[in-house]
Structure 1
Amino acid sequence: MAGRHAFLPQTLRNTLTRVLNGPQALAFLPAFALGAFWLGGEEALIVVALGMPILVLIAGALGAGTHGAGTHDAATGLPQSDAMIEMAEASMAHAAAAKLKTACFVIEIEEFGRIAERIGPGAAETLIARSATRLQTILRNDDGLFRMGEARFGVVLPPMPRLDLETGIQMATRLQTAIEEPLAHDGRTIYLSAGLGFCLSSRSPDDSGTALVECAGIALDEARRSGPSAVRAYSPEMGQIRHRRDTLCTEALIALENGEILPWFQPQISTDTGHVTGFETLARWIHPERGLIPPADFLPVLHEAGQIERLGEVMLYGALTAVNAWDAAGAPVPTIAINMTGEELRNPKLADRMRWELDRFDLAPGRLTIEVLESVVAGAPEDMTARNLARLSEMGCRIDLDDFGAGHASLAALRRFAIGRIKIDRSFITHVDGDPEQQRMVNAILTMADRLGIETLAEGVETAGEHAMLAQLGCRHVQGFAIGRPMPFDATLDWMRGHAARLGTPPRIGRGSG
């Protein structure tokens, strides 16, 4: 099927299809006929009248040869996913019958959403069209190129005698290089990165084209998890991992709605007084059969399922409920911290929702701290993220920059995003009591923060020695296992009672305490 029209290059076939197989062909037919009559008389008129329908039929045949001409993408002129499945089915059937081999490649431009935000939707579509053209230039006439999504392309190879893993990797490298060549736009250079996954027919779980395309997509998912510009070839183990991940995703979605994923709380204390200065809210999943499931296992699947904002709603409700409960128990906690992702911070209704929630719980905005990862701030342009953080700060909410030092946030970003406190990443805290280099790094961060009028908190404090050294260096707040592990709400009051006793101050916990 792929080779029926090998005498015409793919791009020319697409062009002829769009021109002759659309309504414009019929619209110009009277004009062509009239011109032919004036120039060549009745004979020319007859030739045009008979010839145009034949050309249209040829265009239809060419469209069939390009696999789904009726579903071509407007920006690139490429056939889309349905046509890709058609070609994959035909290639797999031919390969199985003739003892040949085929393969499917899926390539995706990474972080395309952010690029589109920066250059605008029109320029982004132009970038996609230029990327498609580059891919076409390195493909052979019979290779099928398809647009699968916003920034994703698929390639299906026709059956061939020799196609092993080495050949597949070479092909993947050529496709990736074509995408990642710098592009000039509006006087500046745009650098792209692309992840790629592919599946050889010899590794596909069955002989269907659908399985071949799906397995290439699974390999792409693995590539995306492995970091920028990664390439992965499908293996049966990936399918098993995908099945387990899909199962976990389904269970996590059910757990989120059933109340199995709950907020736990980790204390933060002052190095000056030892008193509790806040708690950080952390998501924990208590599975009825497997017990405590680590956040690193379920947070990524909730993110992929588009449920991170829903998780944020659950965490916020639990955090504000806890503050009210602590107040009622006579153990007021100055502030509760919640983590917010880039998706949540780009929601234009975020500030209004937070104001409504605080009013609902009758809490002052200063009781709520918004934690944002340094990587989110470093990668965010001056758009909705900056406006939301500014509005939250103006409301009176506190803004913490999490994992400071692990990302690439600039000093200007500390001001632009209204950061009130930085949380020094654990990588600088480990062994700070015995490593002079760690002490110099922490001291430099503390000096910078002091000059900027920004508070500091060290996270990941795991030993009494680290706690003591951080207090000596002048870090105002600490958090970590040496202070207290994350705990369910029911354990927080007992922990605060025990902590107050260790400080030598009678605890003020319980109704009627004065």
Structure 2
Amino acid sequence: MSKAAAVDRPPVPVAVRPRDERGAARAAPVGSARPGARERPPSAGPGPAEPGSAERRRAERPAAKRQAAERRPAGRSPRLSNRVAIGLAVRTALVVLLAMVTVQGLLAVAGVAAMFQGGEGGLLSWLAASVPVMAAAVLAAWWQGHRLARRLDRIGVTVDRARQTDAADGEAVPAGDEIGRLADSVRQLADSVAERERRLIASALSDPLTGLPNRALLADRIRQTIALSQRAGVQFAVAVLDLDRFKFVNDTLGHSTGDLLLKEVARRIRRSVREADTVARIGGDEFVLVLSGDAEAARTVSRAILEAMRAPLRHKDQLIDIGVSIGIAMYPAHGQDEVTLLRHADSAMYRAKRARSGEHVFDGEGSELQRSYLSMLGEMREALRNGAFVLDFQPKLELASGRIAGLEGLVRWHHPQRGRVPPGEFIPFAEQTGFMREITRSVVEQGARFSKALADEGLDLCVSVNVSALDIENDAFARTVMEVLRKYPIDPRRLCLEITESGVVSESDTSMKNLRAIARAGVRLSVDDFGTGYATLKQLQRLPVNELKIDRSFVTGIQKDRGNMTIVRSTIELGKQLGLKVVAEGVETAQEMRCLARLGCDEIQGYHLARPMPEAEVVGWLRMRQALYGSSPSR
């Protein structure tokens, strides 16, 4: 074979380990093979040499020499050892000779010159006596230099290995003298540099709070998964997970509790996904998952995560409800790159949050919804200026007397293009953006104004309005309520503020201060949606509340569901023990109303009694009700 043909032969593949998280490639152990490379069949014995094998062996010799040099153990550096030893021996011999001449000179000056009295024979005797001493000194110097060179060589090997690997793994050098201490310092320096580099790499590619991959590493993982999916012709999912009410947890319980919640969420997600899946945190309360398999497999993992989040997080004496919303986008159906997949998964997540469904697979409609959200804040500001946020009122019936005991004002948005926008579409968005505080002030003002209007009509009714849990965390909330009462001078007992259970159990200093100030002013307070949160008996005893409202989920079909009946009966008994009025909302049938009356419930509210109605229709409905039933119980 010609030399040109030997050059054209493809080089022998060298197995290389995959890059570790530091990005440094390492040599594979003997016997490992590169993925995708064909294995050479084992030889059954010596056979005929291949054509050109001699040329190939000659080409491989330099590489073999380099590998042998790399495998050479520490301390084997003969050229360095000889140079240091010889140099040290020569210097030692010169020093010894100079010392001997100096000593003899001093003795001669002192009058002791025996070696010169003998003439040439005395000088030769002196030289003969000096040679063994000089030889012994030279040999000792050479041995010490050789030993010193070997130890320095070991230090050099340690430095080289530290420069090429993650840590200094050179041979140990005894630390009994200065050289040993120098070697130990070199190893410590190499360890420190390697550890600092590891920390830099980790901080650049992982989230410091949860230890999960960050946005940069996530993008790389998605790109790699796309490349693998293209070659294999398979699909995978990108899921965006966002916590519900996380801002409320941060505002009420502090950022340290929020960090604890994020760590717990990360732990539960990792426990719910499969080994091949990727979990990353890209900022705030948002996590991203890369899930192998089809859409059904992704939904199965999502349901497992939702199930894992059902158990509340216990922090000190506080139970924190963990709610999440998950949006799913599939490759290649919903995007061909990581940017598009993340955008569509984020859109699906907002659909899940709006529908309170837990998880949602992208269907193309979410993009339009997100674009509408971009303009919603400006539209809400315009609606507030134009009075487009109005209250519809739903009556509450006192079961013992059959009287209408009060009304609850439910906020509605009359949009010029969209018509009546349901509260579920704008309330979560308003809470996330902080605009809910502006809406709440308008709602409280409308409730107080209508209560005064009812009093002017001779109707002694309490008007309830809903306030956000974020409002009671506002330092100025109690002052805002007092300003409304001064603007509309009414009996404070005719106004009731309903706050969700998750809002009143925070027990932060600000919320407790606001609630106590409002209660001292005479305004009634109600715990809305009771049973869906985690309020304890101790917390209810401390709160200045007057009323418990049982959530509709426990009222529906109560006469058939023994579990719901047990919960409602226990809630009613708890309310009576605490001296609180108990109201059941969501009553839609006469059977539910009768069952609640037998259990001792104080008031009911729901479609069975009346649907929410505009303010202009309330007084007429009340007059008609009074004319038909008077003060007799409703049937």
Is residue 415 of structure 2 the alignment partner of residue 281 of structure 1? no
**Identity between Structure 1 and Structure 2 (%):** 26
Is residue 342 of structure 2 the alignment partner of residue 217 of structure 1? no
Superposition pairs for residues 323-334 of structure 1, below 5 Å?
323-327=451-455, 329-334=456-461
- Structure 2: state its 5+ residue gaps: 1-15, 25-150, 165-193
Q: Closer, same or farther in 2 for the Cα pair 1:6/1:275, shift >3 Å? A: farther
Is residue 431 of structure 2 the alignment partner of residue 313 of structure 1? no
TM-score normalised by length of structure 2: 0.54
Following superposition, the deviation at residue 194 of structure 1 comes to 6.6
Superposition pairs for residues 248-267 of structure 1, below 5 Å?
250=375, 254=379, 256-257=383-384, 258-267=386-395
Partner of 1:148: 282
Q: Closer, same or farther in 2 for the Cα pair 1:212/1:365, shift >3 Å? A: same
Following superposition, the deviation at residue 280 of structure 1 comes to 0.8
Is residue 526 of structure 2 the alignment partner of residue 400 of structure 1? yes
Distance in 2 (alpha carbons) for counterparts of 1:185 and 1:269: 39
Q: Closer, same or farther in 2 for the Cα pair 1:427/1:213, shift >3 Å? A: closer
Asked if structure 2 preserves the Cα contact closer than 8 Å seen for 1:371 and 1:399, the reply is yes
Any idea what the Cα deviations from partners look like across 1:106-135, whole Å, max 9, x if unmatched? 445666557767986457557757987999
Partner of 1:9: 20
Partner of 2:539: 413
Please give the secondary structure, in 2, of the residue aligned with 1:282: strand
Following superposition, the deviation at residue 371 of structure 1 comes to 1.1
Distance in 1 (alpha carbons) for counterparts of 2:545 and 2:405: 18
Please give the secondary structure, in 2, of the residue aligned with 1:356: helix
Is residue 485 of structure 2 the alignment partner of residue 358 of structure 1? yes
Partner of 1:346: 473
Any idea what the Cα deviations from partners look like across 1:382-421, whole Å, max 9, x if unmatched? 5544443333222221112223455553333322222212
Any idea what the Cα deviations from partners look like across 1:232-289, whole Å, max 9, x if unmatched? 6x44x1x314524653784686254343331111223444555443221101234446
Distance in 2 (alpha carbons) for counterparts of 1:338 and 1:296: 16
Partner of 2:464: 337
Please give the secondary structure, in 1, of the residue aligned with 2:545: coil
Following superposition, the deviation at residue 470 of structure 1 comes to 5.6
The one-letter code of the counterpart of 1:9 is D
Distance in 1 (alpha carbons) for counterparts of 2:453 and 2:264: 58
Distance in 1 (alpha carbons) for counterparts of 2:337 and 2:227: 8
Distance in 2 (alpha carbons) for counterparts of 1:172 and 1:431: 30
Distance in 2 (alpha carbons) for counterparts of 1:340 and 1:392: 13
Distance in 2 (alpha carbons) for counterparts of 1:441 and 1:133: 32
Alpha-carbon RMSD across the aligned residues, in angstroms, is 5.7
- The correspondence for 1:268, drawn from 396, 403, 406, is 396
Distance in 1 (alpha carbons) for counterparts of 2:444 and 2:471: 12
The one-letter code of the counterpart of 1:366 is R
Distance in 2 (alpha carbons) for counterparts of 1:316 and 1:181: 34
Following superposition, the deviation at residue 202 of structure 1 comes to 1.2
Q: Closer, same or farther in 2 for the Cα pair 1:225/1:380, shift >3 Å? A: farther
Q: How many residues align?
A: 456
Superposition pairs for residues 33-432 of structure 1, below 5 Å?
75=209, 80-81=214-215, 84=218, 104-108=238-242, 121-122=255-256, 125=259, 147-154=281-288, 164-165=294-295, 197-204=327-334, 206-221=335-350, 234-235=361-362, 237=363, 239-244=364-369, 246-247=371-372, 250=375, 254=379, 256-257=383-384, 258-271=386-399, 273-288=401-416, 291-303=419-431, 306-327=434-455, 329-377=456-504, 380-381=506-507, 384-405=510-531, 407-426=533-552
Q: Closer, same or farther in 2 for the Cα pair 1:96/1:322, shift >3 Å? A: same
Following superposition, the deviation at residue 485 of structure 1 comes to 2.6
Q: Closer, same or farther in 2 for the Cα pair 1:271/1:96, shift >3 Å? A: closer
The one-letter code of the counterpart of 1:308 is M
Following superposition, the deviation at residue 316 of structure 1 comes to 1.4
TM-score normalised by length of structure 1: 0.65
Distance in 1 (alpha carbons) for counterparts of 2:465 and 2:522: 15
Distance in 1 (alpha carbons) for counterparts of 2:553 and 2:359: 29
Give the number of the structure whose alpha-carbon radius of gyration is greater.
2
Partner of 2:108: none
Is residue 616 of structure 2 the alignment partner of residue 500 of structure 1? no
Distance in 2 (alpha carbons) for counterparts of 1:85 and 1:306: 31
Following superposition, the deviation at residue 312 of structure 1 comes to 1.9
The one-letter code of the counterpart of 2:610 is G
Distance in 1 (alpha carbons) for counterparts of 2:310 and 2:547: 38
Higher relative contact order (CA 8 A, sep 6+): 1
